[in-house]
Structure 1
Amino acid sequence: MEVDFLFQVGDKIVYPMHGAGVIEAVEEKEILGEKQQYYIINMPIGNMQVMVPVEKVSPLGIRLVVDMFTMENVLFVFHHGESDALLPWGQRYRINTDKMRTGDVHEGAEVVRDLMRRSQEKALNTSEKRMLDSAKQILISELVLVKGVTENQANDLLNYAGDR
Structure 2
Amino acid sequence: MQLTIGQKVAYPNQGICLVEGTRTCTIADTAMEGFTLRVLNDNSTIFVPACNAESVGIRPIISLAKCRQFMATLSDDFECISCDWKIRSREFADKLHSGSIFDAADVLKKLTFLSYEKKLSFREQTMLEKAKFLIVSEVSNADNKRHGHTETEVCQLIEAACLKHREIQPSMAAVAH
Q: Secondary structure at the match of 2:20?
A: strand
Partner Cα separation in structure 2 for residue 15 and residue 33 of structure 1: 27
Residue from 86, 98, 111 that aligns with 1:115: 111
Shift of 1:31: 4.1
Partner Cα separation in structure 1 for residue 120 and residue 148 of structure 2: 23
| Matches for 1:55-74 after TM superposition, within 5 Å | 55-74=51-70
**Count, aligned residues:** 159
| Matches for 1:1-164 after TM superposition, within 5 Å | 6-79=2-75, 81-88=76-83, 89-164=85-160
Shift of 1:111: 0.9
Corresponding residue for residue 168 of structure 2: none
Alpha carbon RMSD of aligned pairs, Å? 1.8
Q: Residue deviations 1:63-98, cap 9 Å, x none?
A: 11111111112122112x113313122222222222
Greater Rg, structure 1 or structure 2?
2
Unpaired runs of 5+ residues, structure 2, are: 161-177
Shift of 1:129: 0.8
- TM-score using structure 1 length: 0.86
Shift of 1:26: 1.1
8 Å contact from structure 1 (residues 44, 141) kept in 2? no
Query: Residues 31 and 117 from structure 1, CA distance in 2 versus in 1: closer, same or farther, beyond 3 angstroms?
Result: same
Partner Cα separation in structure 2 for residue 145 and residue 21 of structure 1: 11
Partner Cα separation in structure 2 for residue 72 and residue 126 of structure 1: 32
Q: Secondary structure at the match of 2:55?
A: helix
Shift of 1:146: 0.5
Shift of 1:9: 1.0
Partner Cα separation in structure 2 for residue 128 and residue 36 of structure 1: 37
Runs of 4+ in 1 over 4 A off after TM superposition: none
> Sequence identity of aligned pairs in percent?
21
- TM-score using structure 2 length: 0.80
Q: Secondary structure at the match of 1:59?
A: coil
